[in-house]
Amino acid sequence: MRRSQLFTKAFREPPSDEESTNARLLMQAGYVQKLMSGVYTFLPLGLLTLRKIENIVREEMNRIGGQEVLMPALHPIEHYEKTGRAAIEDLFHTQLSTGSRFVLGQSHEEVVVPMVQKFIQSYRDLPLAVYQIQTKFRNELRAKSGLFRGREFIMKDLYSFHSSEDDFESYYKKVQYAYRTIFSHVGIGEKTFLTYASGGTFSKISHEFQTVAEAGEDIIAICNYCHVAINEQDRSLFPRCPECDQDPQETKKSIEIANIFPLKTRYTDAFGLTVKNNAGEDQKVIMGCYGIGISRLMGAIAELYNDKNGLMLPKSVAPFSLYLIGLGKQGGDEAEKLYARLQKDDVSVLYDDRSDASAGEKFADADLLGIPQRVVVSEKTLAERLCEIKDRTTNVCSLVPLTDFINNMSLYVR
């Protein structure tokens, strides 16, 4: 894409009305814009990154047999009365002029259970896993921390249904592996810990995925031997690491980017969802739910991958692979040719063709936007048929023969 055709701009200064690092950076670089506290618009660059994250998540969900659906945001209150959740604090409520009451979904147990109920009758219809990537709403009084705690946000929520505890347990493990793959793929694998937490009122434990970040609102106690953690607020349930039985070595602030939860039969019971077993008798259905905050993940990546000059996005989620700059008349001409060639080869490139921006402004923008590779051609480099490549993920610059760059493009782009 030509930068001159992108309507968003990078700002010289971070926004004054935003405290969190993730939203400050993403707003300054023109990835998102704040409509109000906890509610953001995804601008073209931000939407490209969001879609990349979504597709990484989607691929893993499909791999573990998840079937994608899209459920509504508007839910009838009656379903929440059945599950006893109609009065929970952070739901948004709305209604028709006739008085029919709806809530805005912040999770979808009340929709997915009656939905699958129409399709499964027998134990042979199980296991079943359905998921969606969808917009959720939470009535947060104090929305803060940028994309970490929103009033409107995008989540992937997967729900699984099983005819036995064993089958559930095995799928629950499978989701854990899929989540690790996802977090590793988007670049936060090493900083993300499977975290033991309380299961609330209906299961002993649940699991979170916590990413170590200064801006996080949680505290986790980490076992470095096992690369797992314990949510500090549930420490009393887990006096030592549940995997190696040793004391966790350190505590750190972290952000919960995903959770997985054994729901057992809490919701299937509420809706009377049963299946026939092989003797033709009704049997209970065991359920799990598995969330990933998609927009929150984008916030976490921004929070972890930056320096004083801006974002430093991993290749897997950056909106473009290359940021192309041509300096001076000769550099500009060569950049045009290079851009045409890259377009032809389907390389994802943002070409800074602005005639009203200085070299310094272009360099600053390239850094701020955090596109993984910056490619510069100028009179000086072209004298030796070279281009300068800056790897924004390491900030290392190198001079590379233009022909090598073109012939070995796969080294530079995903």
Residues of this chain that interact with its own copies (CB under 8 A) are 5-9, 30, 33, 35-36, 39-44, 47, 50, 65, 67-76, 92-94, 96-98, 102, 104, 111, 115-116, 118-120, 125, 128, 130, 135, 137, 139, 141, 151-152
Least Cβ distance, residue 243 to its own copies (angstroms)? 34
Residue with smaller CB distance to its own copies, 58 or 227: 58
Least Cβ distance, residue 7 to its own copies (angstroms)? 5
Residue with smaller CB distance to its own copies, 130 or 258: 130
Q: Tell me phi and psi for residue 234, to 5 degrees.
A: -110, 20
Residue with smaller CB distance to its own copies, 26 or 389: 26
Asked if 11 and 310 count as a contact pair (C-beta separation under 8 A), the reply is no
Least Cβ distance, residue 201 to its own copies (angstroms)? 24
3-state SS, residue 282: strand
Residue with smaller CB distance to its own copies, 73 or 226: 73
Least Cβ distance, residue 41 to its own copies (angstroms)? 5
Residue with smaller CB distance to its own copies, 75 or 252: 75
DSSP string, 329-370: HHHHHHHHHHHHHHHHTT--EEEE--SSS-HHHHHHHHHHHT
Least Cβ distance, residue 182 to its own copies (angstroms)? 21
Residue with smaller CB distance to its own copies, 15 or 199: 15
Least Cβ distance, residue 281 to its own copies (angstroms)? 20
Give CA–CA dist 310/73, Å, rounded: 35
Give CA–CA dist 402/201, Å, rounded: 63
Give CA–CA dist 346/11, Å, rounded: 29
Least Cβ distance, residue 297 to its own copies (angstroms)? 15
**388 pairs with which residues across the strands?**
376, 399
Residue with smaller CB distance to its own copies, 110 or 218: 110
Give 12-17's long-range contacts (Cβ < 8 A, gap of 24+): none
Least Cβ distance, residue 160 to its own copies (angstroms)? 11
Do the strands 32-36 and 386-391 form a parallel or antiparallel pair, or are they unpaired? unpaired
Least Cβ distance, residue 200 to its own copies (angstroms)? 23
Residue with smaller CB distance to its own copies, 175 or 229: 175
Asked if 371 and 364 count as a contact pair (C-beta separation under 8 A), the reply is no
The angle that helices 294-304 and 44-63 make with each other, rounded to 10 degrees, is: 110
CA 68 to chain centre: 17
Other beta carbons within 10 angstroms of residue 247's beta carbon come to 10
Residue with smaller CB distance to its own copies, 151 or 296: 151
**Which of 297, 247, 325 is closest to 3 using CA atoms?**
325
Do the strands 67-68 and 386-391 form a parallel or antiparallel pair, or are they unpaired? unpaired
Least Cβ distance, residue 227 to its own copies (angstroms)? 34
Asked if 112 and 143 count as a contact pair (C-beta separation under 8 A), the reply is no
Asked if 178 and 61 count as a contact pair (C-beta separation under 8 A), the reply is yes
Give CA–CA dist 273/113, Å, rounded: 7
* Distances 408 to 147, 335, 403 between C-alpha atoms, Å: 37, 17, 8
Residue with smaller CB distance to its own copies, 32 or 241: 32
